[in-house]
Amino acid sequence: MPLVTIKVFEDELSHAQTEDLIHKVTEAVIPFVGEKLRDNTWVVIEEIASGSWGIGGKRLVLKMFAQFGHRSKQLGLTALRVGELPMKIISVNVGLPREVVWKSMTVQTGIFKDPVDGPVKIRKLNLAGDQQADLTVHGGAAKAVYAYPAEHYEYWRKKLPEVPFSWGKFGENLTTEGLTEETLCIGDHLRVGSAILMVTQPRMPCYKLALRFDRDDMVKRFLMSQRSGFYFSVIEEGEVHAGSKVEILSRDPHRVAVVDIVRLYLGQAHDPDLLYRAMNVSPLPQNWKAELAVRVEHA
């Protein structure tokens, strides 16, 4: 059989997605090479550029060469949609505020959340059985529900091998599959279970994340990873449970991804057009726009 070599510059493809990629690469190569595809033919995928293609999927642009002995021929560029995951809720997590001792201080926090079985009501300001502690910076209509991708847990397990992980570790209400900061945009509407939610903002971590992980560097690690998770406001109340499907109902026309806001905040995106689009996204809270306004002035 021909040998297909793939140089992948993305380190987040699961085993199933990689197998899917190899299968689709093989299918894409055959029309280019035709009958010349023989046992001594090497098809080399030299370059893979990743981008978003729908929710939960990846668009991989392949620069392909067929090598015949010492001679090679560029086969051209093609785009494949690879490894799209179903969008669903992996875990629903709730918790009430508790007092904990941290750095010789008594702190009240609602970051400790545990998975629950069965349906949970999503209300306008929170989930049933859940509550935020400091309402000056947590909670409210624009932060009624916090979600975090299950896909990120593997990244954190590798970075922090000594830390035990279970769903809800980041204080999220919903642990999701198939949703990412790159593909979800501010203002997108989703049906989650029977509720309708709207994406409002990324999470900016406070010291309570450091408390949860018992690491002083956790806030910086979290922020720089750009794995922020995302907050929702509740458009229509409903119920959700582990295994509930997620459906995209509408996409905001400004197309400002959650991760775009993080990158703008960190000064990692030097794009005046993106800045102005972000400033015009109505669902983005005013405090975020105030932060970004400083960057608009210096753009």
Q: Say which residues have a Cβ less than 8 Å from residue 219's Cβ, sequence separation at least 6.
A: 205, 206, 207, 209, 210
In-domain check, residue 276: no
Range of the domain at 51: 3-82
Shared-domain flag, residues 108 and 212: yes
Same domain as 251, residue 217: yes
Residues 236 and 94 in one domain: yes
Domain presence at residue 235: yes
Whether residues 172 and 216 share a domain: the answer is yes
State how beta strands 145-149 and 246-250 pair. Answer: unpaired
SS3 of the chain: helix, strand, coil, percent, to 5: 25, 35, 40
Model confidence over 171-213: pLDDT tens digits?
A: 999 999 989 898 899 999 999 999 999 999 999 988 889 889 9
Q: What is the pLDDT of residue 278?
A: 92
Residues 244 and 149 in one domain: yes
Q: What is the pLDDT of residues 98-132, one digit of tens each?
A: 888 878 788 888 898 999 999 999 999 999 998 87
Bridge partners of 88? 177, 245
The pTM of the full predicted model, rounded to 2 decimals, is 0.72
d(CA 299, CA 291): 13
The residue among 48, 82, 116 that closes a domain is: 82
11-63: per-residue pLDDT in tens? 445 556 555 655 655 555 555 444 443 433 344 443 333 433 333 344 444 44
Distance CA 44, CA 294 (A): 46
For residue 272, tell me if it sits in a domain: no
Q: How many structural domains is the chain composed of?
A: 2
> Do 43 and 137 share a domain, yes or no?
no
Residue 19 lies in a domain: yes
- Supply the pLDDT for residue 68: 43
pLDDT of residue 102: 77
